[in-house]
Amino acid sequence: MEWCQVCGIAGVTSWGGAALTDDADVLLRGMADTLAHRGPDDVRLLRDHNVGLAFTRLSLVAPTDGGQPLVSPDGSVVLIANGEVYNHRELEAGLPSGVRMRTRSDCEVLLHLYQRDGLSFLDHVNGMFAFVLWDRRRDVLLFGRDRFGIKPLYFHRDGRRMVFASEIKALFNDPGTPRRLDWDGALNDLGLSATPSFIHDPVNTWFEDIEMAPAATIMEFRLADGSLTEHRYWSLPGADRQSDASDAEYVAAYRDALTASVRDCASADAELGLFLSGGIDSAAVAALAGRVQTYSVLTGATVLNGDAEWSHRTARMLGLPNEQVLFDVDAVPGVEEWKRLLWLSETPLCGPEAYYKYELHKYARTRHPQIKGMLLGAASDEFNGGYMETYAEGPGWEGFMRSLDGFARRTALLTRPRYAQWYGILDAPLLRDTALGGRPQDPYEEYLRWKYRSLQQYNVWHEDRTAAGNGVEARVPFLDHRLVELVASVPVDRRAGLLSDKRILRLAMEGILPEPVLSRPKVPFYHGEGRLHTYRTFTAMLTQQDNALVEEALSTDRAREFLHPDGVRENLARLHSDREHGALELLLRLVNMGLLESMTRDLPPAPVTGRTASALSSVPVEDWDAEAEALSARTLHRPAVDPGAVYALGPDVLLAGRADEEDTWYVLVDGSIEFVIDRASEELWLKVLRALDGVTPLAKVLAEAGCSLDRMRPLLTEALEHRLVVAA
């Protein structure tokens, strides 16, 4: 079977029956060339009267009949599709007896389903896909995408015509398509500014007059006049208030659905790999997928948060090969390297996660060129309660629900901003939520809708681009509608027991994953304990070559219309001196906006078709415990502790004790308590901190405190790293 795989689709159509001219052939070829990285194995073009289609293919095998467009036997329906229909055999078996598949493409079944079922033809399709279907008889063009928008499809239309493509950059081959960043739309996007409130707006394309075909929807364009109607074929379900299933039955159903989804995603004629993070999500996929080559990110952040160690240990427990791909302490994306990644991704949300995953895909393709699909553990957190601890205002599910109430309130306040003061002046509320026009009956359902939107805006967007940019298909078993429908429908009174900290997944994997993996808590990929090291890397990226990326981002009139050049530079300077300053990601997003504006003025070359070899290497690990110190040395930038130097507390750091608690001292940063020191167990450390006066050399401080440098070095290193202590 020839899976459609990661492919590029594009095209142009005119309204009102006007035939396309020869110029359309040039446009189609240009769009195909721009999308060549998505499908370097084959290119097909079709121009027929007022419709032109382009298709680029990456094949798992090389059959002679796997190309597109696909055409129905009677010639009335034409299809180009990117993605996979996992249950195509089941669907084919249900077609009328006279129907015969003419190709080995899994997507061909969509033609016959449409001819049989009309606009209901996607109701029972399971897969990830984006397609354009031309019904010649009805003179309509249909756009469709899978339920979660895993595969992309963008378009620009005006009163005369429409162009469409898998990536935005391909649309810019059309002289009539605007090349302008939508600054106002972006700055109003609460996701870009990381505002803690529910967001249900349509997915933002970031560019003026560029639209995205919505997920779980069929768009029908009438070619006679360009008019549009939409048919939504799937929505997130609400809680099942009639269910009498036991917790054990929910867990068993979840296990069966996940097993089936992994089996579907792991079906291929080509070899697959898997990104193993060290958490339960990717571990579950690994355990159910069978023997696959696994890859893990080895950085300062993943060493500190334990992900690198646990990915190694999990692979060992499951008997899988694992390569720890090293991003050493001095690895920093270059100026042109970052711009290429940003242009590939087409989103200001491009950040550390996209960089690490892109480089991991590149490494995997360099080391194992036969790998064309990559299994991921992504999208489990969003629907399985994985962010409970991240958002919770207090312990357990109750604390999580309190935080969701706060999200709902902040969302409502956006419509009545002058009410905000009444909700913020005292600890206890003064006004009822009804004063804001009410609140959602079920904030958790609002939360799921928000996460559904953020998956499309960020997760599946960057997963698609980082994989496709290396000629790889990203496969996401947790984005199977059967799984998501199951957990979304858990009754309200059962959520705490099944969804607290992904409990349903942990219970489902009992007997399949080893207990240490089952119980390991979620940790952030590059935030958390290792955030400092990630921030150091990307601050160095922004400041290299005299702040070259920032200065280019500020170089266009449109960017300077919205960005404050001196403020941007001042925040960058502060980042350089204070690596924990929280502005890095917001600053990077605005810099990305400016860079995208600059690149749309002078379009960069299309992403490289012949993939460049990865410069990264992996570190063979036999015994993590024995090699941990050496791995830390290669990934962590640890400041040296000089016994002859003079040290003092950082400028915003205060060491304070309370008269009624003589044994307890506090380290305050900017007035907030960051650390608590217990005098009984940490008396020597307390003595050293109190003696760092900016005058006395460290050696003398240690001698007077009665302790050695070796004993204090780990604590001093950490304090220097976090700028609690600075060289005077």
Among 173, 203, 232, the domain boundary falls at: 232
| C-beta of residue 297 within 8 angstroms of C-beta of residue 325 | yes
- 175 shares its domain with 280: no
pLDDT at 594: 98
Residues 224 and 345: their CA atoms lie apart, in Å, by: 34
The candidate with the shortest Cα–Cα distance to 355, out of 277, 457, 469, is 469
Does residue 616 lie within any of the structural domains? no
Q: Beta 293-298 vs 322-326: how paired, if at all?
A: parallel
Does residue 391 lie in a domain region? Answer: no
Residue 673 belongs to what domain range?
A: 646-727
DSSP 443-488: HHHHHHHHHHHHIIIIIHHHHHHHHHTTT-EEE-TT--HHHHHHHH
Q: Are residues 188 and 334 in the same domain?
A: no
Please check whether residues 120 and 182 belong to one and the same domain.
yes
Q: Are residue 256 and residue 353 in the same domain, yes or no?
A: yes
Q: What is the CATH number of the domain that holds 658?
A: 3.90.930.70
3-state helix, strand, coil in the chain (%, to 5): 45, 20, 40
- Spell out the alpha helix ranges (H) of 481-579: 481-488, 495-499, 503-508, 515-519, 531-553, 557-562, 565-577
Q: Which of 7, 107, 265, 350 is catalytic?
A: 7
Same-domain check for residues 584 and 655 = no
Answer yes or no: do 379 and 467 share one domain.
Answer: yes
Domain harbouring 303, CATH code: 3.40.50.620
* Pair 371, 504 in one domain: yes
Q: In 3D, which of 74, 137, 62 has the Cα closest to residue 102? A: 74
SS3 607: coil
- pLDDT score, position 507: 98
Rounded CA gap, 707 and 352, in Å? 40
Last residue of a domain, one of 201, 232, 263: 232
Q: Is residue 619 part of a domain?
A: no
One domain for residues 374 and 488:
yes
Q: Are residues 174 and 264 in the same domain?
A: no
Residue at a domain's end among 204, 232, 260: 232
Q: How many helices (H) and strands (E) does the chain have?
A: 29, 24
Active site residue 4: no
What's the rounded Cα separation, in Å, for the pair 12 and 613?
Answer: 34
Integer Cα distance of 718 and 192 in angstroms: 32
Give, for 727, the enclosing helix (H) or strand (E): strand 725-727
- 196 and 288 share one domain: no
Q: What is the pLDDT of residues 6-22, one digit of tens each?
A: 689 999 999 998 999 99
- Domain match, 63 and 188 both: yes
Whole-angstrom distance, CA of residue 570 vs CA of residue 576? 10
| Domain co-membership, 570 together with 700 | no
Question: pTM for this one?
Answer: 0.91
Tokens representing 53 are 């289609």
Asked if 195 and 60 count as a contact pair (C-beta separation under 8 A), the reply is no
Q: Does a structural domain hold residue 146?
A: yes
Give the three-class secondary structure for 256. Answer: helix
> What CATH number does the domain containing 48 carry?
3.60.20.10
**What are the tokens at 44?**
């097909």
- Return the closest-CA partner of residue 62 out of 271, 365, 270, 362: 270
| Mean pLDDT per 10-residue section of the chain, whose length is 728 residues | 68 95 96 90 89 82 63 95 93 86 86 96 97 98 98 97 98 97 97 92 97 98 98 97 95 98 87 95 97 96 94 97 94 96 98 96 94 95 94 92 92 89 80 84 95 97 96 95 98 96 97 96 71 88 97 97 96 76 87 98 82 88 94 87 93 80 80 81 89 94 92 87 84
